[in-house]
Amino acid sequence: MGCESVYQLIRDQGFDEYYARKSGVTDPILEAPFTELNWQWLHELVIQAETMPSENASAEFSVSGLSCNGCSWLAQQVITRQSGILDSKIHGAPSHIELTWLRGTDLVKLAMELQRFGFLLHPLDAPPRPARTPLIFGAVFVGSALLFQLPRFLGATDGFAFARIFDLMSTLLGGLAVLMASHFIVRWQAYQQQLKS
């Protein structure tokens, strides 16, 4: 649902170049654009940054969702369209953004606009986003479990000496897939709770 929504948003906003720039397979967006977040930390950071004795304010933010060059380009386009932003630099590994803005600029509006595209701003010391490795292993286990069930699907289990072993392996791999998916879901929910707090 999240990926479909952002795909339509990219088309509507005229950012089609993103698809020419993106490389490889990007992480799924999941529910990032629809998650209700507490932006109090951003209000406080803006107030603190704007009390500094300089004409403009600046700060760095951690950002999730930047999984390819196309994503960085897209985030940069979204930031550039926001009024009041004077300068922005996007860095990878780990992904973070340096912003310079005119005093009084609504950074929460910018953060919410980035969120619509699947990019989430966090304080630099924010909790790390859970790795999707368990999901990858889960998918591998599901595929392997289905392969072990292939003789049964083809009706070739009569007289097949390894039928019971194949059934056992399929059950074992299916259980591991459920375990991996459950592990990811628990960690993702904990991560979302930390972002909301």
pLDDT tens track for 179-194: 888 887 887 777 666 6
Confidence label for 2 from pLDDT (cuts 50, 70 and 90):
very low
119 touches 75 (CB < 8 A): yes
Topology, domain 2-122:
Alpha-Beta Plaits (3.30.70)
Buried b (16+ CB within 10 A) or exposed e, 143-171: ebbeebbebeeeeeeeeeeeeeebeebbe
124 three-class SS: coil
How many Cα atoms are found within 13 Å in the side-chain-facing hemisphere of 78? 26
pTM of the complete model beyond 0.75 = no
Q: What is the pLDDT of residue 79?
A: 92
Q: Write the pLDDT tens digit of every residue in 20-61.
A: 445 544 444 445 566 777 888 888 888 888 887 777 888 889
Q: Give the span between the Cα atoms of 121 and 129, in whole angstroms.
A: 12
Q: Give the span between the Cα atoms of 94 and 190, in whole angstroms.
A: 21
CA nearest neighbour of 174 among 185, 166, 163, 186 = 166
User: Largest Cα–Cα distance in the chain?
Assistant: 83
Q: What is the mean pLDDT of residues 126-143?
A: 75
Sequence ranges of the domains in the chain = 2-122, 133-196
Q: What is the pLDDT of residue 109?
A: 92
pLDDT at 75 over 60: yes
| The length of the chain, given as a count of residues | 197
Using alpha carbons, list the distances in angstroms from residue 62 to 65, 123, 126, 146, 175. 10, 6, 7, 40, 36
Two tokens, residue 45: 């950071």
Confidence label for 96 from pLDDT (cuts 50, 70 and 90):
confident
Q: Give the span between the Cα atoms of 82 and 63, in whole angstroms.
A: 17
Q: Give the span between the Cα atoms of 30 and 118, in whole angstroms.
A: 8
* Highest mean pLDDT (candidates 19-33, 90-104, 152-166): 90-104
